[in-house]
């Protein structure tokens, strides 16, 4: 890099500040989107100083503007025969390196700003996977909790009746996210097939009998643990015997616990939006099987864990508290796997005070900007979401490849590919961080490496 011309000193900062102000002005009341853009721009300053061509081509203006935003009405009948109306979204953010790809989230908190932050993050994450996938995200403010299977089906069918006009196996391939698992993907796939009269790989996370991939349900959690292991290797350490905090108790959390057990670690916490459990003896395979049955079949609350396993402690969520009880438990590793901004500055300080060595993010943007800075300053091994949780979308990419070839790989084959992808992502982030003068800062490594591939593809493709 030493042959690069001497950059104008503040060019990167000036350009990012200017565009960040523009993003805030054009997208008011979208704080999560601003936060995600701010974090990426902060990392990109040295890149923009070395590459004035990105400024000339207005890459930052273009990369923060979705290629297309779809917002639509989703009407459906509940079990009492009453009309319900939700709002549906799909953000088609960037297709420079492949068809739009990213999950659908069904949760009452869903709004345009949250989905734009998720779609923006997805662009860089997908770029890091080494696979040809653009970035998108979608969902609805529909809450599947407390709904019957028939209500969920009617909602999914209505949602897909509109969405099916905009997606396709070579255009936009949605997957699951919070509130969207195998059940919801099944209902949406069925409706797409019926309306379009096509059996195609238009969604990922499908059932095994109808085009799904082995290891896709496990992939985000497994990948996040593989990433943590790679980070530890740089300090000649392993997960063996490490006490681990996991938040959430959904798809990502469950398979994070499973892979931690495979690698000899000791997971001790789980949570849901009502509260958290702490099991000092460790969550073993039998206890995990109980959680999977509780969450995936009975759709119950995590508090039930303590009725079954009496030595575990439950703490109800207290929204008035300035920190999260779970992150104040002494541990070596933290795997936030529930939702955005679940670790604030106080939580980060608590984790650091208690000696945390590794934070590997299963959820998307679970740490606030202040928490991220605290981890980096304290030299904690910190795996940012867009790198650490990329195993899910990477395996969705593998599902698309199998669908295109009309074949199915074995469990071992998919897991091996996932593992190699996570090693490659870590290596890319690690080396890029070093190359741009911030060794060990995987936030910079992930943002810069993810950006370069997309930005260069945008330059190649002209002004579109």
Among 88, 98, 174, 248, binds ligand NDP (CB under 6 A): 248
For ligand NDP, the binding residues in 160-199 under the rule CB under 6 A are: 176-179, 181
DSSP string, 282-335: ---HHHHHHHHIIIIIS---TTHHHHHSTT-EEEE--TTSSS-GGGGS--SEEE
Instruction: Select 181 or 186, whichever has its Cβ closest to ligand NDP.
Output: 181
- Closest separation between CB of residue 179 and ligand NDP, Å? 5
Residue placing its CB nearer to ligand NDP in the complex, 88 or 223 = 223
What SS3 class is residue 354? coil
- Under 8 Å between Cβ of 291 and 254: yes
Residue from 127, 157, 337, 344 touching ligand NDP (CB under 6 A): that is 337
CA distance 201 to 171: 11
Options 125, 137, 206, 295, the catalytic residue: 137
Asked if 360 touches ligand NDP (CB under 6 A), the answer is no
Q: SS3 for 173? A: strand
The Cα 221–Cα 246 span in angstroms is 11
Cα 193 to chain centroid, rounded: 27
The HSE-up count of residue 383 (CA atoms within 13 Å, CB side) is: 35
Contact 175, 100 (CB under 8 A): no
Q: Rg of the Cα trace of the chain?
A: 21
Query: Of the ranges 33-41, 227-235, 269-277, 411-419, which one interacts with ligand NDP (CB under 6 A)?
Result: 269-277
Q: What token pair was written down for 380?
A: 């904690």
The question of whether 26 is a catalytic residue gets the answer: no
- With CB under 6 A as the contact rule, the residue among 32, 272, 332, 399 that binds ligand NDP is 272
Between CA 254 and CA 291 the distance in angstroms is 8
Q: Does 122 bind ligand NDP (CB under 6 A)?
A: no
Sole window of 234-242, 246-254, 257-265, 307-315 interacting with ligand NDP (rule: CB under 6 A): 246-254
Can you tell me which of 348, 363, 374, 443 binds ligand NDP, judged by CB under 6 A? Answer: 363
Q: Output the smallest distance, CB 274 to ligand NDP, in A.
A: 6
Number of residues that bind ligand NDP (CB under 6 A): 24
Instruction: Quickly tell me which residue has 């309306």 as its tokens.
Output: 195
Whole-angstrom Cα distance, residue 31 to residue 57? 26
Cβ proximity to ligand NDP, 272 vs 415, nearer residue: 272
Q: Compare residues 16 and 328 and give the one whose CB is closer to ligand NDP.
A: 328
Element (H, E) at 140: strand 135-140
Do residues 295 and 249 touch, judged by C-beta distance below 8 A?
A: yes
Instruction: Give yes or no for residue 273 binding ligand NDP (CB under 6 A).
Output: yes
Assess 389 for contact with ligand NDP (CB under 6 A): yes
Among 139, 250, 267, 450, binds ligand NDP (CB under 6 A): 250
Give 95 or 395: the residue with its C-beta nearer to ligand NDP: 395
What are the residues binding ligand NDP (CB under 6 A)?
Answer: 107, 109, 176-179, 181, 220, 248-252, 272-274, 337-339, 362-364, 389, 392
Catalytic residues: 137
């Amino acid at each position: 890099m030493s042959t690069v011309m001497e950059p104008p000193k503040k060019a990167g900062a000036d350009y990012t500040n200017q565009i960040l102000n523009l993003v805030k002005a054009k997208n008011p009341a979208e704080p999560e989107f601003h936060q995600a853009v701010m974090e990426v721009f902060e990392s990109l300053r040295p890149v923009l100083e070395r590459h004035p061509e990105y400024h000339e081509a207005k890459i930052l203006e273009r990369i923060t503007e979705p290629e297309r935003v779809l917002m639509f009405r989703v009407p459906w009948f509940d079990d009492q025969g009453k009309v319900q109306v939700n709002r549906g979204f799909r953000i088609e953010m960037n297709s420079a390196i492949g068809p739009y790809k990213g999950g659908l989230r069904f949760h009452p908190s869903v709004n345009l700003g949250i989905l734009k932050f998720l779609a923006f993050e997805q662009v860089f994450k997908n770029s890091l996977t080494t696979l040809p996938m653009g970035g998108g995200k979608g969902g609805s403010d529909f809450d599947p909790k407390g709904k019957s299977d028939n209500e969920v089906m009617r909602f999914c069918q209505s949602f897909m009746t509109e969405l099916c006009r905009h997606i396709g196996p070579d255009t936009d391939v949605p997957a699951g996210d919070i509130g969207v698992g195998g059940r919801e993907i099944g209902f949406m796939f069925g409706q797409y097939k019926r309306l379009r009269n096509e059996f195609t790989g238009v969604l990922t996370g499908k059932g095994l009998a109808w085009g799904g991939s082995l290891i896709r349900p496990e992939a985000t959690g497994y990948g996040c643990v593989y990433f943590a292991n790679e980070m530890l290797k740089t300090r000649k350490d392993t997960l063996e015997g490490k006490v681990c905090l996991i938040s959430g108790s959904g798809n990502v959390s469950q398979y994070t616990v499973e892979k931690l057990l495979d690698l000899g670690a000791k997971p001790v916490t789980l949570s849901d939006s009502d509260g958290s459990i702490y099991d000092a003896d460790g969550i073993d395979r039998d206890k995990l099987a109980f959680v999977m049955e509780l969450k995936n079949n009975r759709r119950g609350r995590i508090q039930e864990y303590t009725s079954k396993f009496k030595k575990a402690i439950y703490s109800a969520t207290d929204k008035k508290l300035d920190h999260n009880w779970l992150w104040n438990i002494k541990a070596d590793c933290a795997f936030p796997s529930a939702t955005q901004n679940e670790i604030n500055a106080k939580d980060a300080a608590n984790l650091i005070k208690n000696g945390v060595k590794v934070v590997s993010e299963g959820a998307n943007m679970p740490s606030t900007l202040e928490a991220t800075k605290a981890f980096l300053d304290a030299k904690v091994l910190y795996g940012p979401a867009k790198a650490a949780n990329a195993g899910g979308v990477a395996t969705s990419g593998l599902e698309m490849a199998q669908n295109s070839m009309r074949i199915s790989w074995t469990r071992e084959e998919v897991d091996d590919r996932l593992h190699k992808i996570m090693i490659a992502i870590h290596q890319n982030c690690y080396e890029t961080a070093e190359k741009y003068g911030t060794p060990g800062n995987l936030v910079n490594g992930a943002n810069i490496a993810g950006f370069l591939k997309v930005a260069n593809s945008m330059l190649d493709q002209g002004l579109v």
